[in-house]
Amino acid sequence: MSFLEYAPAPESRSILNLRKEYGLFIDGQFVEGHGKQFTTISPADESPIARIASANAQDVDLAVSAARRAYDKTWSKLSGRDRGKYLFRIARLVQERTRELAVAESLDNGKPIKESRDVDVPLVAAWFFYYAGWADKLDYAGLGPAPKPLGVAAQVIPWNFPLLMLAWKIAPALACGNTVVLKPAETTPLSALLFADILQQADLPPGVVNIITGAGDTGSALVNHAGVDKVAFTGSTAVGRAIARSTAGTGKKITLELGGKAANIVFDDAPLDQAVEGIVNGIFFNQGHVCCAGSRLLVQENIHDEVIDRLKSRLSTLRLGDPLDKNTDIGAINSREQLDRIRTLSEVGEAEGATRWSSDCAIPDKGFWFAPTIFTGVETSHRIAREEIFGPVLSVLTFRTPAEAIAKANNTPYGLSAGIWSDKGSRILGVADRLRAGVVWANTFNRFDPASPFGGYKESGYGREGGRHGLGAYLESSWGQFGKGVLTRAASEPKGSRSGTGEIAAAKKTSSRSASGQKRGSKKAVAR
Amino acid sequence: MTMEQSTALAPASRAVQLLGTDLSEKNLKLHLEGLSGVDAVGLEARAAALATRSIKTSSKVWALDTIIRLIDLTTLEGADTPGKVQSLVAKAINPDPSDPTTPRVAAVCVYGDLVADAVEALGAAHGSGGPDGIAVAAVATAFPSGRASLAVKLADTAEAVAAGADEIDMVIDRGAFLAGNYGKVFEQIVKIKDACRRPDGTSAHLKVILETGELNTYDNVKKASWLSILAGADFIKTSTGKVQPAATLPVTLLMLQVVRDWYRLTGEKIGVKPAGGIRSSKDAVRYLVTVAETAGEDWLDPHLFRFGASSLLNDVLLQRQKLQTGHYSGADYLTID
């Protein structure tokens, strides 16, 4: 037996203590749903994991009402400092339960445990820690003194990073003082339901976060509910467009984080071995189920053959298989539906005349799998160079000059992310400046940090998540309210008006803090 | 400066083949500076990712035995004596007296003046490093600093070879390298390689120590690796063990990438030896994974990969016993050397 066929090293499932059935998490309790129950399965072997409730319009209404009550009675009245305490507490609980969450995520989503363990869950904790820190510093977010929360946020998230997308949505919303109704994707509800358990453990006031499960119609009922002030959606461009249309004119604030077809540009002066790693990480991380995946490789023509050659030998060391095995690099495709889409587009690629190469790996009998695949000889007019495949499929195009690379990179309806590989700093900065993409990585790819804003241009959506900018999606800037009363006193003060308001705000905060402090005392130290 | 002498030397044939017969310092410099750069963050991230491989059960059993087979059991102290070398050799032959199935190490590594003692102590167990027997490696060329005249380095090497050394671990002139005097470094390696020849026409294997801790940047490590291979190195080795940092996983990964590239270019296999600082089995297993996933499994062979280590062996033996008995023994159940 060869050493490279590492002996199985499966992460144990025994840490999971799953229920057979999960209800909807509304007003701090698990309650039954009124829609048709569905089963969530493991995409690695199609085995059922648990029965999941489905929320119908009536349940959505209950959840939104609970969120509204919590907003009016509790959450909007808490000081930023106290909201921060809850968020810090959630972050610590996520850290404590890291292994459990990672196993649940890999089981339900199909992603390799090494990714859920080393990337997803640590980032989830990082996101809560980061926004916990902001909760009492919103005056300094650049949105004017005392910016206001929006109210009830409806959040609909995708299946590719179920728990991480939940964190991206919930952490800033709560830090800013909003309450939340969140709907996880139909195929990956499990980690969100475990997260509900963490919320109970953290003693978060009932109704501040409600988690309702279901399919597209649940999501649609949620975002179109009249009691919602804010809609945040991450998912496909088609659904994003529908949401933008249906919420137009309702006064709801929207952020959309949609598809992408990122260019990963490799210049001939790139650090080659690291560039090859970056290409692999760009498109084969999370089976390519990444909206910002580097799915279009733009490689300078004079190094094309060498890069492809190295890439192929690197891909042949990738290990596809059991997501719970600690040595697995490529896990399962999340659903049959997605697998079909990847297959269809790959066939289109072949029909269009591109050359297909797939790594030679054994595909398990059960479950949904797709071997890492590269298409060379792809032209800008091919569908596989334009449409988001959302799978482990890389389209390789070439360019001759930086100007051509920039033109090709920008020639897409999307604009979420891009990558540049070069050892020359001035080239990186010059090219980055001309790329129309929300995130540009230099000599790396698919790196995330809560302090860094993320979001798209064009059909990749609007609004930013993460960093200080991410607060803007959940706050109403007080600059816009000059003359509406909020700042009248400050504005009428002749000089030093900013510091004047600062002191007033500080004085107000102190009093509300002591009030909530008493309340906490009666509830046995809510969050410390 | 034209390196006419070098071009005439057989061991520099690699350089001639790659760079042409008009081998000159300028030519060499252009070649080395044309190598693609190394991104430190990316290299270290890749090494860290390889370090997360989980090697369990049957893979672990194989890995532990393989580590032993790849060890150059080393003593390089001012206080070394024939008695100490004898003791080291005994440990090399019989690492775990409680288990005769334990494999032997690849080689013992000593200072040049103790080569004869090592050869004598090995007796019938002496071989070329591998299944046929334990090799004797000698550090030479004014190890560890390399600050001596070429004549002294050549004499140092020739004496060790004459005394029966199978392998010579030389150091490069880091001063010359950092001053940009690549031709000087190159010529010295070529000449030392020549001094490794024995009267019967065979040659001691040449390991070239880059002392990566003094080269400081990954770009330098890459250039020095490439330079050493061009000059005729059979192995490229990270460190003397006398400078910190010694071997690290990213540096070893980079050197493995260079030998892989050399193989892709020429079909010739060059060995890699990380030395210094690898003390635990867990660490050593990470190196095995890095070798297998970078250069390929063929490199997991004493002729292509070695660990320069002293305390590593006992930790591997401890883990080996644990796998067999299910519990950990203690330091007193392993011989100190």
According to the model, what pLDDT value does residue A482 have?
54
Q: Structure pTM?
A: 0.92
pLDDT at B293 over 90: yes
Torsion sign across C-alpha atoms A211, A215, A218, A224: positive
Judge: A6–B43 Cβ closer than 8 Å, yes or no: no
Strands B271-273 and B235-237, how do they pair?
A: parallel
According to the model, what pLDDT value does residue A512 have?
39
E strand spans, chain B: 71-74, 107-111, 135-139, 167-171, 205-209, 235-237, 271-273, 307-309
According to the model, what pLDDT value does residue B19 have?
85
* Chain pair A-B, CB pairs under 8 angstroms: 72
By Cβ distance, the residue of A8, A114, A444 closest to B41 is A444
Cα end-to-end distance, chain A, whole Å: 53
According to the model, what pLDDT value does residue A195 have?
98
According to the model, what pLDDT value does residue B40 have?
98
Which domains are present in chain B?
Answer: 13-323 (3.20.20.70)
According to the model, what pLDDT value does residue A481 have?
57
Q: Is B290 in the A-facing interface, judged by CB distances under 8 Å? A: no
Q: Is B225 in the A-facing interface, judged by CB distances under 8 Å? A: no
Chain A environment of B62 (Cβ under 8 Å): 3
Best B52, B55, B57, B59 residue to mutate vs chain A (most A CBs within 10 Å)? B59
For residue B176, what pLDDT band results from cuts at 50, 70 and 90? very high
Distance separating alpha carbons of residues B325 and A291, to the nearest angstrom: 50
According to the model, what pLDDT value does residue A480 have?
65
Instruction: Write out pLDDT tens, residues B127-147.
Output: 988 888 999 999 999 999 999
Q: Cβ atoms within 10 A of the Cβ of B225, count?
A: 29
pLDDT at B183 over 50: yes
Q: Which residues pair with A182 in a beta bridge?
A: A155, A211
Chain A environment of B46 (Cβ under 8 Å): 273-274, 277
Chain A environment of B59 (Cβ under 8 Å): 3, 6-7
Judge: B54–A6 Cβ closer than 8 Å, yes or no: yes
Closest Cα in chain B, distance from residue A440 (Å): 16
pLDDT at B1 over 50: no
Q: Is B34 in the A-facing interface, judged by CB distances under 8 Å? A: no
Distance separating alpha carbons of residues A238 and A256, to the nearest angstrom: 11
Q: Cβ atoms within 10 A of the Cβ of A21, count?
A: 13
Q: Worst-scoring range by mean pLDDT, A505-514, B79-88, B106-115, B199-208?
A: A505-514
Q: What secondary structure does DSSP assign to B217-251, as a single string?
A: SHHHHHHHHHHHHHHT-SEEE---SSSSS---HHH
Given the cut 0.85, state whether the ipTM is greater than it: yes
According to the model, what pLDDT value does residue A501 have?
39
Best A1, A2, A3, A446 residue to mutate vs chain B (most B CBs within 10 Å)? A3
Q: Is B38 in the A-facing interface, judged by CB distances under 8 Å? A: yes
Distance separating alpha carbons of residues B290 and B247, to the nearest angstrom: 13
According to the model, what pLDDT value does residue A12 have?
96
Instruction: Write out pLDDT tens, residues A407-433.
Output: 999 999 999 999 999 999 999 999 999
Judge: B42–A443 Cβ closer than 8 Å, yes or no: yes
Residue B142, SS3 per DSSP: coil
Instruction: Write out pLDDT tens, residues B225-250.
Output: 999 999 999 999 999 999 999 999 99
Contacts of A5 (CB under 8 A, 6+ apart): none
Per-residue pLDDT of chain A in tens (528 residues, 90 and over written 9): 699 999 999 999 999 999 999 999 999 999 999 999 999 999 999 999 999 999 999 999 999 999 999 999 999 999 999 999 999 999 999 999 999 999 999 999 999 999 999 999 999 999 999 999 999 999 999 999 999 999 999 999 999 999 999 999 999 999 999 999 999 999 999 999 999 999 999 999 999 999 999 999 999 999 999 999 999 999 999 999 999 999 999 999 999 999 999 999 999 999 999 999 999 999 999 999 999 999 999 999 999 999 999 999 999 999 999 999 999 999 999 999 999 999 999 999 999 999 999 999 999 999 999 999 999 999 999 999 999 999 999 999 999 999 999 999 999 999 999 999 999 999 999 999 999 999 999 999 999 999 999 999 999 999 999 999 999 999 999 886 554 544 444 444 444 334 333 333 333 333 333 334 344 333 333 333
For residue B21, what pLDDT band results from cuts at 50, 70 and 90? confident
Residue A461, SS3 per DSSP: strand
Judge: B293–A317 Cβ closer than 8 Å, yes or no: yes
Chain B environment of A326 (Cβ under 8 Å): 52-54
Distance separating alpha carbons of residues B198 and B203, to the nearest angstrom: 6
